[in-house]
Amino acid sequence: MKNIFLVGMPSSGKSTLGKRLARRLGYRFVDTDKLIIREEGGRPISDIFRDRGESYFREVESRILRTIRPGCGLVVATGGGMPCFHDNMAYIRAAGLSIFLDVPPERLVERMLRHAADDRPLFSQLDPALLENLRTRCRDRQPFYSQADLIIRGDTDVDALLQQVKPLL
């Protein structure tokens, strides 16, 4: 059973769509941010960033990713920046099917503003330049995300995604 890795910006729907996809395929859902939090003794991602820095976080993130072995029948929601560091996108592609959830920055802002918590260390709901920061980050990450096996619009529902994914499994 080939793993499925969902990549994309924060609030692109990786966890929401990933849970639905896993349920429909009979796969297990895994969120790498939750694995990192567990590895770090329950500390929130924002605290890890603040206390240890982004470089440390990216090393932990890469180590956690490499614990996910090919063929485990997992749907994996990756952190937004995960594909962009430590050759993680190459590992993702080798360990399963990669799917980029492509969501425009304007839609990401709408979704982020609906979240109860300001839990994204690189994007603050209170930042007046949030949209511009997202546009810049999307542009910077595009070369990594575009390496995915499948690129879908972020508003794709699980039925449409299943039609595209099943032939690739």
Question: How is the chain split into domains, by residue range?
Answer: 3-162
Tell me, what's the pLDDT at 129? Answer: 79
Place of tokens 């995960």: 82
More confident residue, 113 or 25: 25
Q: What is the distance between the alpha carbons of residues 33 and 61, in angstroms, rounded to a whole number?
A: 8
Predicted pLDDT at 42: 95
Neighbours of 2 (CB within 10 A): 15
Query: Phi/psi at 126 (nearest 5 deg)?
Result: -85, -5
Non-local CB neighbours of 135 within 8 Å, separated by 6+ positions: 105
More confident residue, 128 or 131: 131
Per-residue model confidence (pLDDT) at position 169: 87
Question: In this structure, what is the dihedral angle of CA atoms 151, 155, 161, 163, given to the nearest 10 degrees?
Answer: -110
The CATH number assigned to the domain with range 3-162 reads: 3.40.50.300
Query: What number of residues does the chain have?
Result: 169
At 95, list the tokens: 């360990």
Summarised one tens digit per residue, pLDDT across range 97-111 is 999 999 999 999 888
132 vs 116, more confident: 132
Q: Report, in this order, helix, strand and coil percent for the chain, each rounded to 5.
A: 50, 15, 35
Q: What is the pLDDT of residues 32-73, one digit of tens each?
A: 999 999 999 999 988 998 999 999 999 999 999 999 999 999
